Structures are given as structure tokens and as C-alpha cells.
């Protein structure tokens, strides 16, 4: 109408933002910078690869192949490409995405940070690492030169070709789950972040323990380290459940999923690792399903104790958190999004 002052569009947006979203720490009128988020993604993906680098980063080639077919010394690789021990590779990729998501989530409580540049940073860093690792592996197998004779030999050897295709499949699946973990960790609701942490926790044992096997054999594995690796995922899951809380009551589904994953995933990882690592070396792939079934049920029985520990940590921590919230603190410190 004539005579009325019309505020610029930016002012109107800022007014609506302050009126409707003043309690939302993830909403801001300021355009967030993209580069810090991108660098967070790249950095998180690379940091998770460090345990493999500390062991020398040498590629492990299956013992089923004759040493005469291998060329030169073990080259350095960013990723631990080894289908006989596939879960350290899978854990490295998934934990990189989850770590980047948690860092972005923490920073968004204080300053505007976009999520998609971090996702691109994780993806590009992991893709570059995968390409470099596969090039190193092909060179180790004498295929890096791209000669027709070498490529033809690989195609003729069905075991070698299946090995490489299996590694490609594991990397692709790991990249996808890394992106899902990042997206879950950056969601506003603590339930999604807690779910990402709880589902990734069982992989921590493979992420840390896998590279350590290079330094010490299984027979000489330090007892204290084995105890830490056994109970660390349970503690992480318990803390994730405390973060999740129980209200609204729908968040109890996160408790069920997290505890079920802590129970089933280690048993499945151990069974599959045994079946692929041992039976494949014996060149008897038909034994793989039976080997998995043979170890899966006993490992389920062994996995009950960590689930109980995680449940105790979650219940005790949740009760303490509820008691603390009843104390006279400011409303800003008790926002549900924290």
C-alpha cells in the first residue's frame, strides 16, 4: 500500500528467522562458508586412514598367490586393500564419514556450516585414496604397466579377477555407508547422530586392531589391548544411547537397533573374516557358508556380555542426565538439540 515502508527481502527473512527459529541452533540467516566444511570432510577421511599408515601402509597380497607372480617390494597404499581381511578396509571408509559428520555437527552449534561440502570432501578424499591404492595393487601384481600379456593373465586367472572385483565392491559399499553415516550424524535430532555412532561402534575394533596385527602376531597379542578392543565398542554404544535419551519414547527404537547391532555385527564380522580368510586360501569356496554358520552362533553367545555393558552404561548415564536436567540450569543449556 502507498505510504507504507516496505522492508527489503533480506530484512523480512531475518525477521521471520528470529521469530520462528530462534531456538534452532542449526538455522541461521548467514550464508555459511563452504571451504571449511569441505576441508573437514577431507581431513576426517584422511585422519581415519592414519592407523594403516603407521604400519607402513604396505599392501597385503593373498597368500594363495605364488610369490613369484609378485613384483618388487610392497608399495605404499592409502587404503588397506585386502579381501582376506576386508573389515579394516570397510571400517576405515565408514568411520571417515561418521567422524566428519560429528565434527560438522559440533561446529554447527556455534557457527553456520554446510553439510554437503563435507560430504563431497569425504567422497573425493576416499575416492582418491582408493584409486591410488588400486594402482599400487595392480603394480604389485605386475599389471600396472597395462601390457596385454599381464592383463590377459589376470583375465585368465579367475581367482585373481574375483579378488579385484570383490575389493571394488567393498570400496563402493564402504563409500555409500560413509555418506549415510555423515548424513545421519549431521541430522538435527540427537537420535540420528546416536544411531550413526552406535552402528559404527562395532567397526572400531577392526579399525584399530587390524593394523596392529602387523606389529604383533595373534599369539603375542597384548592381553590388555585385547580387553580394550573387546569392551570399547560397548562403551561407545552406551554413551551413544545416553546422548540419544528416551524421550520421546520413539527414541527407544535407537536403543534396540544399537544394542542389536552391537550383538550381531561382531559375530558376523568374525565369522565372515574366518570364512573368507581361511577357507578362501584353501580354495574351497563351497565351505564358506558352513564356516560362517559354524562360528556365528558361538560368537553370538560371546557377544551377550558387551551388550549388557552397553545397556548398563546407557541406563545409568540416562538416569544421571535426567537428574542433572532437573537441577536449576538455564533453558539454553537444556535444549533438546544439544
Rounded to a whole number, what is the distance in angstroms from the first to the last CA of the chain?
44
Q: Give me the pLDDT at residue 225, please.
A: 80
Sorted by sequence, the CB contacts under 8 Å of residue 175 that are 6+ apart come out as 93, 123, 126, 127, 130
State the Cα–Cα distance between residues 253 and 197, nearest whole angstrom.
Answer: 14
The answer on 167 and 78 residing in a single domain is yes
**Of residues 56, 52, 61, the one with CA closest to residue 83:** 61
Sorted by sequence, the CB contacts under 8 Å of residue 138 that are 6+ apart come out as 144
User: Which of 164, 186, 208 marks a domain boundary?
Assistant: 186
State the Cα–Cα distance between residues 271 and 267, nearest whole angstrom.
Answer: 6
State the Cα–Cα distance between residues 88 and 81, nearest whole angstrom.
Answer: 9
**Of residues 149, 134, 137, the one with CA closest to residue 62:** 137
| Per-residue pLDDT tens digits for 244-284 | 999 888 899 999 999 999 999 998 988 887 776 664 545 56
Residue 68 falls inside a structural domain: yes
23 or 55, which is more confident? 55
Q: Give me the pLDDT at residue 108, please.
A: 85
Where is average pLDDT lowest: 19-28, 222-231, 233-242, 285-294?
19-28
The answer on 227 and 128 residing in a single domain is no
The answer on 98 and 216 residing in a single domain is no
Q: What does the mean pLDDT of the chain come to?
A: 78
| Per-residue pLDDT tens digits for 148-180 | 555 555 554 556 677 788 889 999 999 999 999
User: Which of 132, 164, 186 marks a domain boundary?
Assistant: 186
Q: How far is CA 31 from the centre of its chain?
A: 29
The answer on 176 and 37 residing in a single domain is yes
User: Which of 165, 186, 207 marks a domain boundary?
Assistant: 186
State the Cα–Cα distance between residues 137 and 74, nearest whole angstrom.
Answer: 9
- Measured from the Cβ of residue 221, the count of other Cβ atoms closer than 10 Å reads 15
Please determine, for residue 307, whether its predicted confidence score (pLDDT) is greater than 80.
Answer: yes
The answer on 139 and 271 residing in a single domain is no
The answer on 159 and 284 residing in a single domain is no
Q: Give me the pLDDT at residue 206, please.
A: 86
For the entire predicted model, the pTM comes to 0.79
Full domain range(s) for residue 323 = 191-338
Q: Give me the pLDDT at residue 63, please.
A: 47
Q: Give me the pLDDT at residue 27, please.
A: 46
The answer on 109 and 84 residing in a single domain is yes
Sorted by sequence, the CB contacts under 8 Å of residue 95 that are 6+ apart come out as 48, 181, 200, 203, 204, 207
Q: Which three cell numbers stand for residue 279?
A: 577357507
Please determine, for residue 69, whether its predicted confidence score (pLDDT) is greater than 60.
Answer: no
Q: Give me the pLDDT at residue 274, please.
A: 74
State the Cα–Cα distance between residues 276 and 317, nearest whole angstrom.
Answer: 39
Amino acid at each position: 500500500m502507498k505510504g507504507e515502508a516496505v522492508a527489503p527481502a533480506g530484512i523480512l527473512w531475518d525477521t521471520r528467522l528470529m521469530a520462528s527459529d530462534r531456538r534452532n541452533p542449526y538455522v541461521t540467516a548467514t550464508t555459511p562458508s563452504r571451504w571449511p566444511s569441505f576441508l573437514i570432510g577431507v581431513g576426517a577421511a584422511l585422519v581415519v586412514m592414519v592407523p594403516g599408515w603407521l604400519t607402513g601402509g604396505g599392501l597385503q597380497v593373498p597368500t594363495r598367490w605364488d610369490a613369484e607372480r609378485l613384483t618388487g617390494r610392497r608399495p605404499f597404499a592409502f587404503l588397506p586393500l585386502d579381501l582376506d581381511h576386508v573389515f579394516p578396509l570397510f571400517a576405515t571408509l565408514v568411520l571417515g564419514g561418521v567422524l566428519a559428520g560429528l565434527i560438522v555437527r559440533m561446529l554447527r552449534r556455534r557457527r553456520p556450516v554446510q553439510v554437503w561440502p563435507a560430504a563431497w570432501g569425504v567422497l573425493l578424499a576416499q575416492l582418491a585414496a582408493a584409486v591410488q591404492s588400486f594402482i599400487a595393487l595392480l603394480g604389485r601384481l605386475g599389471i600396472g604397466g597395462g601390457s596385454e600379456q599381464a592383463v590377459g593373465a589376470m583375465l585368465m586367472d579367475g581367482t585373481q579377477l574375483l579378488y579385484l572385483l570383490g575389493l571394488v565392491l567393498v570400496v563402493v559399499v564402504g563409500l555409500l555407508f560413509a555418506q549415510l553415516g555423515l548424513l545421519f550424524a549431521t541430522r538435527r535430532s540427537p537420535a540420528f547422530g546416536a544411531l550413526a555412532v552406535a552402528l559404527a561402534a562395532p567397526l572400531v575394533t577392526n579399525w584399530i586392531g587390524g593394523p596392529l596385527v602387523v606389529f604383533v602376531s595373534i599369539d603375542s597379542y597384548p592381553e590388555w589391548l585385547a580387553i580394550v578392543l573387546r569392551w570399547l565398542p560397548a562403551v561407545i554404544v552406551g554413551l551413544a544411547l545416553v546422548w540419544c535419551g528416551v524421550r520421546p519414547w520413539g527414541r527407544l527404537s535407537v536403543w534396540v537397533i544399537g544394542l542389536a547391532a552391537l550383538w550381531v555385527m561382531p559375530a558376523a564380522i568374525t565369522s565372515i573374516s574366518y570364512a573368507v580368510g581361511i577357507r578362501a586360501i584353501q580354495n574351497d569356496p563351497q565351505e564358506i557358508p558352513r564356516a560362517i554358520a559354524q562360528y556365528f552362533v558361538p560368537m553370538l553367545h560371546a557377544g551377550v556380555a558387551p551388550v549388557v555393558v552397553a545397556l548398563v552404561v546407557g541406563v545409568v548415564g540416562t538416569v544421571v542426565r535426567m537428574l542433572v536436567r532437573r537441577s536449576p540450569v538455564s533453558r539454553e543449556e537444556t535444549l533438546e538439540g544439544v
